[in-house]
Amino acid sequence: MKIALAGNPNSGKTTLFNALTGKTEYVGNWAGVTVDKKVAAIKNKYQIAKEPIDIVDLPGAYSISPYTGEEAITSDFVLESKPDVIINIVDGANISRSLFFTTQLLELGIPVVVALNKADIITKRGDVVNGHELEKALGCKVVTITATTEKGLADLVTTAVNIVGTNQERLNFNDLDGNNDVARQTWIKTILEKSLNKKHNASHVNFSDRIDMIVAHKWFGLPIFFLIMWGVYSFSIEGLGGFLSGYLNDVVFGEVVPNALNSFFEGIGVNPLMQALIVDGAVGGVGAVIGFLPLIMVLFFCLSLLEDSGYMSRVAVIMDRYFKKVGLSGKSIIPMIVGSGCAIPGVMATRTIENENEKRMTTILTPFVPCGAKLPIIALFSVVFFPNTSWVGPSIYIIAIGVIIIGGLVLKKLFVWEHTSFFIMELPEYKIPSIKNAIIQMFDKAKGFIYKATTIILVMNTLVWFMQAFNWKLQATEIQSESILASVGSVIAPLLIPLGFVGWQLAAASITGFIAKENVVATFAVLFAMASEEALHVPGGALAQMFTPVTAYAFLAFNLFTPPCFAAMGAMNAEMGSKKWFFRGLAFQLSVGYILALLITHIGTLVIYGETAVGFIPAIFVLIAYAVGVTFLIKRANASKATLVEATE
Ligand SMILES: Nc1nc2c(ncn2[C@@H]2O[C@H](COP(=O)(O)OP(=O)(O)OP(=O)(O)O)[C@@H](O)[C@H]2O)c(=O)[nH]1
Ligand SMILES: [Mg+2]
């Protein structure tokens, strides 16, 4: 038996889905969080029918005639897969708007039960809903629930199961004269007059509006956003998160675990090479990554609270003013916020953008937002090269915003884009964020992080260890520079010279980073910590010998702003739906990271140390070639814009 959850965006479908199935799908306080259909079996507790019940969570929709890609997923599913029953989630904080979609669902001939959600908000506002009147008018069952506390869910499931196979009365607006959308609205207004008793009228300036006057203000909005982000990132990277990670890195993975393993292996007399593989390669590399787990957990806990409070939707409004100028829309910010967790769902979230050009641009620009996997690199460089400072983490996010805005401008110049579209986004009311939800999201992220570290990163690291310990004749070698890894890295290393990065190790680490960004840290752990017998993340250690603080910052930028990991590239390819655009996007990302690192190294070294960095002359040649290339592309774009104008005249 299939029960579909359908309703407006942000009405609480995924919250209900998670409560009914025990899953931990992404819940956020904004419209357009779910962009894909999700199916799961109902929890035993609610399994009351003879046959197994499956719950289907759908993206939010305002109407059955789809306007955006993810709305189409919902209407296609409802119209074609014919669920046995639809639970229509009506947002109790926004009843009259939600009922428009309800009237359309009630025309389909599929049994519908209305779940009037967010009953807690209705009660808090002092509104009164007359459920019987509403049932009479709609001709279907109405069950009042609070998805967040699971109140009323058993009743809801029972009601839904009981109407499976029944012939529900259909509403019909198609026979009416004139515009049937207007007819629906008028009808909804009449039935709500009888069934809803509102305490406040709509024109009342409420608490949310008052906060918005400040945080979404024309001038204050952006500085407030920066301050909040600064607080969150420095708390996570340098504050509590950094402190806990330092302990894990120094004590647990720096001493306790390797010492215990070494004495265990020495005790049973294992082959020293085998011992090194396990202790230095596998455990050392994975440990260097896992050490950053607390930092990731603290960050995602804070971000989840911020998001659930409703603030992030305001950020979309603030950003819209700036984004419009560069050919993006305020809606582009949502994929980017999601992308701060992981670029893959971030890129998938571009589906909510209707305009094809805005969607492509957002897909290309979203991976520039530092994701969770990039945090360990940021944290490592911050500790080793800039100890006791708090600006490195936040500065990376400010650069990311700059890269996105300037990148948008450049993309607009390089390719032919149409005009930008309007941006309408509904703002949910502010609320006290749910700690429970934040904890769930935090552990979910932690689980993903550990899973990745103990699978793909473990495998990669064992391989990296092997490649640095053996030469091409498969003989164990004490001299790293004669190893397989060194010879592979040396092929790529010359490309990094114009950036001021010298050493095959840096090339090797960057390459492993494309498999998973955490690998950069893990590879460094194998290459440097082992050789010097000291922990990777100490200031002045082996890693510190490879860079000056300026080139270290440039290397950080290089790894963060070149293309994302392979999995995220796959998502880009899927969402672009065009190989041409996919490769254009990759080329763009690669050149952004490369040129950015080049500029940081050379300008930074000149300004701060008053001398030229390694690779200064090659860098000049690269810049000239780059400028020529970009000018050519802009000329070409202008020419095709001109032919486009001629053709339309
Ligand atoms: N107060 C209150 N908030 C709720 C309730 N149910 C859900 N919410 C909140 O509503 C917001 C949206 O929840 P989601 O479950 O993501 O909504 P959705 O319908 O899946 O949204 P889309 O995927 O964007 O269509 C979150 O902030 C939830 O915490 C409820 O019963 N009471
Ligand atoms: Mg959802």
- Cα of 20 vs centre of ligand 2, distance in Å, is 14
**From atom 32 of ligand 1, which residue's Cα is the shortest distance away?**
118
The residue behind tokens 């009323």 is 152
Is residue 93 a part of any domain in this protein? yes
Instruction: Summarize pLDDT for 146-173 with one digit per residue, the tens.
Output: 999 999 999 999 999 999 999 888 887 7
Task: Please give the residue range of the domain that contains residue 517.
Answer: 463-646
Name the residue of 23, 27, 63, 308 whose CB sits within 8 Å of the most ligand 1 atoms, as the mutation to test its pocket.
27
> Which uninterrupted H or E stretch holds 467?
helix 456-469
Residue 637 reports pLDDT greater than 90: no
How many domains does the chain contain in total?
Answer: 2
Which atom of ligand 1 sits closest to the CA of residue 35?
23
Ligand nearest to the CA of 308: 1
The closest alpha carbon to 276, from 291, 288, 290, 266, belongs to: 266
Instruction: Give the CATH number of the domain where residue 192 resides.
Output: 3.40.50.300
Strands 112-117 and 85-91: parallel
Is residue 37 a part of any domain in this protein? yes
Q: Is 350 in the pocket of ligand 1 (CB under 6 A)?
A: no
CB 358 within 8 A of CB 329: yes
Rounded to an integer, the average pLDDT of 331-347 is 88
Is residue 236 a part of any domain in this protein? no
Round to the nearest angstrom and report the end-to-end CA distance of the chain: 57
**From atom 12 of ligand 1, which residue's Cα is the shortest distance away?**
10
- Cα of 34 vs centre of ligand 2, distance in Å, is 4
Is residue 96 a part of any domain in this protein? yes
Instruction: From 169, 198, 227, give the residue that closes a domain.
Output: 198
- Give the global pTM: 0.81
152 in helix, strand or coil?
A: coil
Question: In the structure encoding, which two tokens stand for residue 338, read together?
Answer: 């999601």
The arrangement of strands across the sheet holding 54-57 comes to 38-41, 54-57, 2-7, 85-91, 112-117, 141-144
Q: How many helices (H) and strands (E) does the chain have?
A: 30, 8
How far is residue 33's CA from residue 56's CA, in Å, rounded to a whole number?
15
Please, which residues have CB within 8 angstroms of residue 103's CB and are 6 or more apart in sequence? 171, 173, 184, 187, 188
Is residue 350 a part of any domain in this protein? no
Is residue 129 a part of any domain in this protein? yes
- Cα of 311 vs centre of ligand 2, distance in Å, is 18
ipTM beyond 0.95? yes
Q: Is 434 in the pocket of ligand 1 (CB under 6 A)?
A: yes
Instruction: From 198, 224, 256, give the residue that closes a domain.
Output: 198
Q: Is 31 in the pocket of ligand 1 (CB under 6 A)?
A: yes
Ligand nearest to the CA of 91: 1
Q: Is 34 in the pocket of ligand 1 (CB under 6 A)?
A: yes
Q: Is 382 in the pocket of ligand 1 (CB under 6 A)?
A: no
pLDDT at residue number 71: 83
The closest alpha carbon to 520, from 556, 548, 492, 551, belongs to: 556
* CB neighbours of residue 541 within 10 Å: 15
Q: Is 117 in the pocket of ligand 1 (CB under 6 A)?
A: yes
Question: In the structure encoding, which two tokens stand for residue 571, read together?
Answer: 């998502």
Instruction: Summarize pLDDT for 228-262 with one digit per residue, the tens.
Output: 988 988 888 878 988 898 888 888 888 888 889 98
Which atom of ligand 1 sits closest to the CA of residue 11?
19
What one-character-per-residue DSSP string does 630-646 give? HHHHHHHHHHHHHHHHH
pLDDT at residue number 649: 62
411-441 in b/e burial notation, b at 16+ Cβ within 10 A?
Answer: bbeebebeebeebebebbbbbebbeebbeeb
The closest alpha carbon to 222, from 319, 155, 118, 308, belongs to: 319
Rounded to an integer, the average pLDDT of 328-349 is 87
Ligand nearest to the CA of 334: 1
Is residue 633 a part of any domain in this protein? yes
- Cα of 75 vs centre of ligand 2, distance in Å, is 15
Rounded to an integer, the average pLDDT of 38-67 is 91
pLDDT band at residue 196 using 50, 70 and 90 as cut-offs: confident
146 in helix, strand or coil?
A: strand
Which atom of ligand 1 sits closest to the CA of residue 121?
1
Instruction: From 198, 219, 253, give the residue that closes a domain.
Output: 198
The closest alpha carbon to 3, from 80, 102, 76, 85, belongs to: 85
Instruction: Summarize pLDDT for 520-548 with one digit per residue, the tens.
Output: 999 999 888 766 667 777 788 888 989 99
Rounded to an integer, the average pLDDT of 83-107 is 93
Q: Which residue has the higher pLDDT, 97 or 418?
A: 97
Rounded to an integer, the average pLDDT of 322-326 is 82
Q: Is 407 in the pocket of ligand 1 (CB under 6 A)?
A: no
Q: Which of 51-55, 83-87, 205-209, 239-243 has the lowest mean pLDDT?
A: 205-209
pLDDT band at residue 513 using 50, 70 and 90 as cut-offs: very high
CB 481 within 8 A of CB 468: no
Question: In the structure encoding, which two tokens stand for residue 114, read together?
Answer: 């209305």
370 in helix, strand or coil?
A: coil
How far is residue 351's CA from residue 74's CA, in Å, rounded to a whole number?
13
Name the residue of 5, 10, 150 whose CB sits within 8 Å of the most ligand 1 atoms, as the mutation to test its pocket.
10
Amino acid, single-letter form, for residue 240: L
Q: Is 308 in the pocket of ligand 1 (CB under 6 A)?
A: yes
pLDDT at residue number 331: 79
Is residue 435 a part of any domain in this protein? no
Can you name the residues that pair with 196 across neighbouring β-strands?
129
Instruction: Summarize pLDDT for 403-436 with one digit per residue, the tens.
Output: 999 998 888 888 766 555 566 667 788 888 989 8
Q: Which of 124-128, 179-183, 576-580 has the lowest mean pLDDT?
A: 179-183
pLDDT at residue number 550: 97
Q: Is 11 in the pocket of ligand 1 (CB under 6 A)?
A: yes
Q: Is 363 in the pocket of ligand 1 (CB under 6 A)?
A: no
